[in-house]
Amino acid sequence: MNRARWYSSSTTLLNGETYVQGGSGGTDFPEIRGANGTYRLLEQCRHQHATTSCIRATSSRPTEGCSAMTARASMYYINTAGNGSVAAAGQFASATAGNDASAAMFAPGRILQYGGNSNQAIVIDINGGAPVISTTSPMLRQRRLSAATILADGKVVATGGSSAWNAMTNVSYEAEIWNPQDGQWTLGATAVKPRLYHGNALLLPDATVLVFGGGAPAPSGVPGNLNREIYYPPYLFAAGGCHR
């Protein structure tokens, strides 16, 4: 790359290129990894909200390379053509902001964002011009450093997190599943280990979810959490199987 980037975010674009933004050492400009494997800086994309870590960027309309939401609740569109350009797209409330909030695009142009500063959740729709924000049901408790994973049936599961950054305070062991059809959260199975800082989750080909990490460095007095668990979503036990 053209910049050193510690805690940057990478997003696959509709054309197959990769958009890379932020990270310590790379806050001046984002860059693009082209199909030929070379990187180019977007030197017209200097932006005050290109923070050093945990930017949440999502692929959007073909005319813009991606949209981006930052820890300070600022939204903007990045056009990745040529040297790039930036267009501000408004703010969302601080209740779901924070560099330890979580987000997942559960449908084309529709993003669920939750946690961070509270137990609240919102849906951000970027299918039109300016993003449209609507509230959805709150979670059981505040989740900081949670992982959001899109399930095989189109729902979103939240795993891990606690109400204090990387601390054993109101730890969320339960999986919590959000249904885009009605905006409601339901509780799933309970994990064995806390999943906090550096925790993650990944949908596997058999429709289970690998939940791993989340404790390196660990909170004081807690062993390092360098392990993994498998979460079995409810649809694996339904008579009809998994349907979207």
Residue 182 domain flag: no
147-203 pLDDT, tens digit each: 999 999 999 999 999 999 999 999 999 999 999 999 999 999 999 999 999 999 999
Q: How many CA atoms lie within 13 A of 144 on its CB side?
A: 19
Above pLDDT 90, what percent of the chain?
Answer: 63
Residue 106 domain flag: no
Please, are residues 141 and 163 in contact by the beta-carbon 8 Å criterion?
Answer: yes
Residue 62 domain flag: yes
Residue 60 domain flag: yes
**Total count of domains within the chain:** 1
One-letter amino acid for residue 129 of the chain: G
Q: What are phi and psi of 28, to 5 degrees?
A: -75, -50
Tally DSSP H helices, then E strands, for the chain.
0, 19
Please, are residues 188 and 233 in contact by the beta-carbon 8 Å criterion?
Answer: yes
Q: In which band, very low, low, confident or very high, does the pLDDT at 216 lie, cut at 50, 70 and 90?
A: confident
Q: In which band, very low, low, confident or very high, does the pLDDT at 61 lie, cut at 50, 70 and 90?
A: low
Residue 80 domain flag: yes
1-12 pLDDT, tens digit each: 999 998 899 999
10-19 pLDDT, tens digit each: 999 988 899 9
In terms of C-beta distances under 8 Å and separation of at least 24 residues, what long-range contacts does 33-39 make, across chains too? 33/1, 39/1, 39/2
H/E run at residue 182? none
Q: Which domain holds residue 75?
A: 1-91
